[in-house]
A and B are shown apart, each in its own frame.
Chain A
Amino acid sequence: MADAGNTPAAGGDAAGAGGAPADVVSLTVNGRTIEAPKGTMLVDAAKAAGIEIPIFCYEPRLGAPIGACRMCLVEVEGMRGLQTACSTPVAPDMVVNTESEVAKDAQDGVLELLLANHPLDCPVCDKGGECPLQDRTFRFGPGETRTVEPKMHFPKPLDLSPLVALDRERCIACYRCVRFSQEVAEDGQLTFQERGDHTEIATFSGDPYEGRFTGNTIDLCPVGALTSNPYRFVSRPWDIKNTPSVCAGCSMGCNVEVTERDNEVKRLTARPEPNMAVEEGWICDRGRWGYPALRSADRIDAPLLVDAVGRRKVLLDRAVNEAGGLLGGRDLRVGILLGEPVTVETGFLATELAERAGNGAGMVRRMGIPGHGLGPLRDLPGAQMHHLDAADVIVVVGGDPCAQQPVAELRLRKAHRRGARVVLAGPRPTALDPACQVLRTTPGHLQDAAPAIAEVLEGSARAIVLWDEADLAAEPDAAATIAAVVAGTPGARAIELAADVSGPGLRALGIDAPGDLLAAIEAGEVDVLVTVQADPTTGPDGDRWSQAIAGVPRVIEMATYRSGLTDRADLVLPLLTALEDEGVLVSMTGRAQRLRPAARECPDAAAAWEIIIALTHRLGRPVPDRTPAQAFARLAAVHAPFAGLSYGALGTTGAVVAASSHGGPAPRREAPGDGLLVVPCTPVFGDATAHRSDALASVLEPTRVGLAPAEADRLGVRTEARVRIATPHGEAVLPLEVDSRLHEGAAYLFTGDPQAGAMRLLPLDRGPVRAVVGVVQREEVSA
């Protein structure tokens, strides 16, 4: 599927407008006649024709041009003085000169002044070698300065936050970071203080620059003023290799670029050419600074084998051989459980393995939410993120995209700024609440918002509804009603806020949630359990899994990090992380995109697809693939959603795969028993990656229980630091947070850290569940 929206210059609605001849303007630039759509800024028109006009402040994603840096001055015949090409729209028969004596003088002058206080410390600057200021100075600058006065000096660097460093003397006051903070993230934190040559970027009263998107200011900075603290002095551009890949931090599927040096991942940034249909070049701080997780202390660095000798490290070849031995018996019943992140190739090869291992009738399941009851929603016409740019009404039903798929928040803010009506329906407070219309529902009663949603959608022409997989799976009645409302609105489309990174891809392969696998394990019908990036013992209904797995004769764990299964497993095979792996992930909007391996930090780890291919060889029935590309070609031939696709067809920005619903009939959902209804929440900086990344230590959010003040009073836990929370599935002792924005009658369970085990308290099918929250006994506190 072609992406009409993938042109950075096309601002939202213009993307779909198409170019009728009447809308095209013809003009002359440097003696050449060029054409450009009406309304295009001179700088973009020239760029499209291959003529570079130097810029610093111009960035269409930040809103209207402001002409702050003066770098793009050009001569336009008939206009007095020089014009800023970034803010001058093309006009018929305009004659522009970017290379005349006057224009060149202006470029020289602007660069000489921009550099008047610049320290020229390129040799020690992180930006040196990939710096627009450096490049443009070489290409357009005067080559020398007449400034003899001493330059300004500041103590350096100033930490804007633990993650972002500011070197004030390098700043050219282009306003990009300030505009990002004010107009894109809308956090209002960054401004310029003082005046004239004393102008400097600052936050109120020197407070740290806090947020979920702060790192984008580093990507935006055209000089070395804003740099990443974790990347400071780590590498020079000529020592690194940048690989385009996809962030596996959530189901959003942001396109990223991964920096490798000495076979280590050193940095993760947005791609220089953004994918306008997905992240629009903005990535969240969790994705940006999650990469140190791959050097986390709990990473499994070698295969572990338990045999008569005991538990020991073995070589990978030996481990694969042993695994082949464990899976070889002709009457063995095999279960394979896939977690996240797992590529579609690995999922496909796992199904092939299940046919070749044991009795050839193995079950392959994914950790995730069953699709029962979600069919009507999944059958709605789908949309991509850039369609939000043209939507007139946007409704978010359930979930909290600001926390779960953070970059979606920026797209929603953009739509809201443009004048779209943005409505948030659900039981959780979100970061968008102050800006948008909120339909707060009682936990467990999303259904109540349906009439209001129907009213909001009425008369809309291009509505988009973003619905939360987890919330609507727990409330099938609401799912059915809301699906009917959307289906009855002409032009309305839907985006699923998918709970898992791997869920959409594995569902497209027809791989189901693990309910029947667990039942089979409990019934003693599984002889060998293979897990791939899955630790069910810390997931929903974890205690039941732990008990069940204790009775499985053989467990083979394939994982990157140590988990609750590692000590139980008979064989542990270390896997690569998503940053090191190759394959395809499908985003929540159904966009299949390629992961490309950026480095391989752990020499004894392997990709899951590599191990599975080796296992099929060991089992004597090898699959024909040697690479994920070959596996993908084969799966595309047999799985309809991927029909006609290949790595070549995915290109750099991916392709949309046809949605497949195959959800069964909706079960009746009720939360039995007494207590508070549990509202599962995902904090932005609270997931497993955030807990493993030392870069994110300063923003880490704990796994915790949130209660409304009145509820905390009623339970007598208002002053407790920690509370005990128990559901029929398990219990945990967690920190308490009292927040007046939360509903009474509900326990908001902020999950994330697998170590804290909060997910264990949820039912396996992610239906509604009640919890008893109470005081922690004294002996527990001391323990």
Chain B
Amino acid sequence: MTVAEIEQYLAPIRHEYPDPRSLIIPALKYAQGDAGWLPPEAMAAVAEATGFSQAYVESVATFYDRLYVDEVGRYCINVCVTLSCMLRGSDELFEHIADYLGLDGEGTTDDGMFTLARVQCIGACDRAPCLQVDSGVQLGPLEPADATCLIDDLRAEPAPARYDR
């Protein structure tokens, strides 16, 4: 991701952000689309394109959970563990997915395909227990077996051209 590419992306939307600090988030989201996460070079490019210091850009990136400053897998599976989902079995769902992926709790699979995380409410309590893959629609209610199918389907998909987290 080059500075020029980020600047090109920002050009038509700059006027929507009267406080230039607000521009950092769309810029980071766009930059994250490239590799699926934000390596230091990507944050440095955002810093240059937005005119803020690298440290400031990183401080914004680390504030938000969906901006990843550490490398993640091709798909981020975010399992909701807030009240409604927990009452409806999110713990079992999470453990099943972790087992199926061969993970000990949260983390990234060795093949780099999946990153599994517990997240707070994703706003689909009527479909508890639910999960979200990247920024896709919330999926639920899920039985453990449904999750197995989902993972198998994702594994068969070709790698996305750009990531939307």
Contact = CB atoms under 8 A, between A and B. Distances in A.
A193 B53 contact: no
B58 A191 contact: yes
Given A191-B58, A193-B58, A204 B53 contact: yes
A190 B44 CA distance: 15
A573 interface: no
A194 B62 contact: yes
B54 interface: yes
Contact of A195 (B55, B56, B63): B63
B136 to A, nearest CB: 24
Interface residues of B, number: 13
Nearest to A186: B53
Contacts of A191: 53, 55-56, 58-59
A233 interface: no
A263 interface: no
Contacts, number: 40
Interface in B84-132: none
B160 interface: no
Contacts of B56: 182, 188, 191
B62 A193 contact: yes
B59 A205 contact: no
A205 B40 contact: yes
Interface in B34-81: 40, 43-44, 52-59, 62-63
B63 A189 contact: no
A193 B56 CA distance: 9
A561 B53 CA distance: 43
- The contact size tier of chain A is 10 to 19
Interface string A181-220: 0100000111111110000001111000000000000000
A611 to B, nearest CB: 51
A202 B63 CA distance: 13
Interface string A159-201: 0000000000000000000000010000011111111000000
Contact of A189 (B52, B53, B62): B53
A202 B53 contact: no
A203 B62 CA distance: 12
A226 to B, nearest CB: 16
Contact of A202 (B43, B57, B59): B59
Contacts of A194: 62-63
A191 B52 CA distance: 12
B20 to A, nearest CB: 15
B8 to A, nearest CB: 24
B58 A204 contact: yes
Contacts of B55: 188-191, 202-204
A620 to B, nearest CB: 67
Given A191-B58, A204-B44, 14 more contacts: A188-B53, A188-B56, A191-B55, A191-B59, A193-B63, A194-B62, A194-B63, A202-B58, A203-B55, A204-B43, A204-B57, A204-B58, A205-B54, A205-B58
11 contacts: A188-B53, A188-B54, A194-B63, A195-B63, A202-B55, A202-B58, A202-B59, A202-B62, A204-B44, A205-B40, A205-B43
